[in-house]
Chains A and B, each alone.
Chain A
Amino acid sequence: MRRTAAAAAIALAMLPALFPLYWMVISSLKGPEELQTVPPTWWPREPSFGAFAEVFEAVPFGTAFANSLLLSGVATVSVLVTSVLAGYVFAKHRFRGREALFWGVVATMFLPPVVTLVPLYWLVSSMDLADSYLGVLLPWLANAFGIFLMRQFISDVPDELLDAARIDGAGELRIVWRVVTPLLRPAVVSLAIFSFVFYWNNFIWPLSILQDDAKFPVVLALSQLLNYSTSVQYQNVVMAGALIASLPTIVVFLLAQRVFVASLSRTGVKG
Chain B
Amino acid sequence: MAAVAFLSPAMLVIGLFTVVPIGLTFWISLHEWSMYTPLSEMSWRGLGNYTDLVGDDGFFTALGNTALYVALVVVVTLPLSVALGMLLYFPRVMGRGAARAVLFSTYVIPTVAISIVWGGLYAPDYGPLSQLFGAWDPTWLSSPDTALAALVIFHVWQMTGYYTVLVIAGLTQIPADLYEAARIDGAGFWRQTAHVTLPLLRRTTVFIGLVAIINAIQVFDPVYILTQGGPAESTSVLSFAIQRAAFQHGMAGQASAMAFTLLVLLVALGGVFLAAARRRS
Q: Is the CB of A114 within 8 A of B218?
A: yes
Enumerate chain B residues within 8 angstroms of A95, measured Cβ to Cβ. 3
- Interface contact A116-B6, CB-CB below 8 Å: no
Identify A246's interface contact among B3, B113, B157, B214, CB under 8 A.
Answer: B113
Residues of chain B within 8 A of A9, CB atoms compared: 87
CB distance from B257 to the nearest CB of A (A): 10
Q: Does B56 contact A (CB under 8 A)?
A: no
In this assembly, does A55 line the interface, its C-beta being within 8 Å of a C-beta of chain B? Answer: no
Name the interface residues of A168-208: CB closer than 8 Å to any CB of B: 171-173, 176, 197, 200-201, 203-204, 207-208
Within 8 A of B (CB), among A244-262: 245-246, 249-250, 252-254, 257, 260-261
Question: Judging by beta carbons under 8 Å apart, are A126 and B102 in contact?
Answer: no
A115-B22, A138-B13 known; A232-B126 Cβ under 8 A: yes
Q: In the complex the two chains form, is B28's CB within 8 Å of A118's CB? A: yes
- Specify the chain A residue showing the minimal Cβ separation from B210: A110
Closest 3 CB pairs of A and B: A119-B24, A6-B91, A172-B2
Residue in contact with B93 in the complex, picked from A3, A42, A120, A239, CB distance below 8 Å: A3
Distance of A222 from chain B, by nearest CB (Å): 5
Q: Any chain B CB within 8 A of the CB of A36? A: yes
Q: Would you give 20 A-B contacts (Cβ < 8 Å), ordered by A?
A: A10-B93, A10-B96, A17-B106, A24-B120, A95-B3, A115-B262, A117-B246, A138-B13, A139-B17, A142-B14, A172-B2, A176-B6, A197-B108, A201-B111, A208-B247, A222-B112, A241-B116, A249-B109, A260-B104, A264-B172
- Any A CB within 8 A of the CB of B99: yes
Q: Verify B225–A223 contact, CB threshold 8 A.
A: yes
Contact size range, B = 35 or more
Cβ contact of A245, chosen from B20, B21, B110, B259, cutoff 8 A: B110
Judge whether B87 and A6 touch: CB under 8 Å.
Answer: yes
Beyond known contacts A203-B112, A219-B112, A264-B169: 5 more, CB 8 A cutoff: A123-B21, A142-B14, A219-B113, A243-B113, A261-B101
Say yes or no: A223 contacts B224, CB within 8 Å: yes
Contact A86 B7 (CB under 8 A): yes
Residues of A within 8 A of B87 (CB): 6, 9-10, 13
Interface residues of A in 207-265 (CB under 8 A from B): 207-208, 218-219, 222-223, 226, 232, 235, 238-239, 241-243, 245-246, 249-250, 252-254, 257, 260-261, 264-265
Check B242 against A235 for contact (C-beta < 8 Å). Answer: no
Query: In whole Å, how far is B209's beta carbon from the nearest beta carbon of chain A?
Result: 13
How many A residues are at the interface, by size bracket? 35 or more
Question: In the complex, what distance in Å separates the CA atom of A232 from the CA atom of B21?
Answer: 42
Q: Is the CB of B100 within 8 A of A264?
A: yes
Docked CA distance A5–B266 (Å): 43
* Interface residue? A147 (CB, 8 A): yes
Whole-angstrom distance between the alpha carbons of A223 and B111 in the complex?
A: 11
> How many angstroms between the C-alpha atoms of A36 and B126 in the bound complex?
7
Task: A117 to B28: give the CA distance in the assembly, Å.
Answer: 12
Asked whether B125 lies within 8 Å of A38 as measured between CB atoms, the reply is yes
**The residue from A36, A226, A268 contacting B225, defined by CB atoms under 8 A apart:** A226
**Given A10-B88, A89-B6, A201-B111, CB of A118 within 8 Å of CB of B25:** yes
B13 touches A141 (CB 8 A): yes
Residues of A contacting B22 in the complex (Cβ-Cβ under 8 angstroms): 111, 115-116
Taking the closest CB of chain B, its distance from the CB of A19, in whole angstroms, is 8
B201 at the interface (CB under 8 A from A): no
Q: Which residue of the partner chain B has the closest CB to A201? A: B110
- Decide if B242 touches A23 in the complex (CB within 8 Å): no
Min CB distance, B263 to chain A, in Å? Answer: 5
In contact, A245 and B113 (Cβ under 8 angstroms):
yes
Q: Is the CB of B127 within 8 A of A40?
A: yes
Q: Mark A100-133, 1 if CB is under 8 A from B, else 0.
A: 0100010010111111111111110010000000
Are B172 and A267 interface neighbours, CB within 8 A? yes
On whether the beta carbons of A13 and B103 are closer than 8 Å, the reply is yes
The residues of B that contact A200 with a CB separation of less than 8 Å are 110
Q: Which residue from B3, B109, B179, B224 sits with its C-beta under 8 Å from A203?
A: B224
Query: Which residues in B have their C-beta under 8 angstroms from that of A267?
Result: 169, 172-173
With A and B bound together, what is the CA distance between A194 and B52 in angstroms?
40
**Across the interface, do A126 and B110 meet the contact criterion of CB distance under 8 Å?**
no
Contact B246 A203 (CB under 8 A): no
Closest to B246 in A: A118
Interface status of B50 (Cβ within 8 A of chain A): no
Residues on B with C-beta less than 8 A from A252 are 108
Q: How far does the Cβ of B15 sit from chain A's closest Cβ, in whole Å?
A: 9
Interface string of B209-222 (1 = CB under 8 A from A): 00000100110110
Q: How far is the CB of B234 from chain A (nearest CB, A)?
A: 19
In the complex, whether A167 has a CB less than 8 A from a CB of chain B is no
Complex CA distance for A37 and B220, rounded to whole angstroms: 32
Known contacts A111-B18, A114-B259; decide if A261 and B13 are in contact (CB<8 Å): no
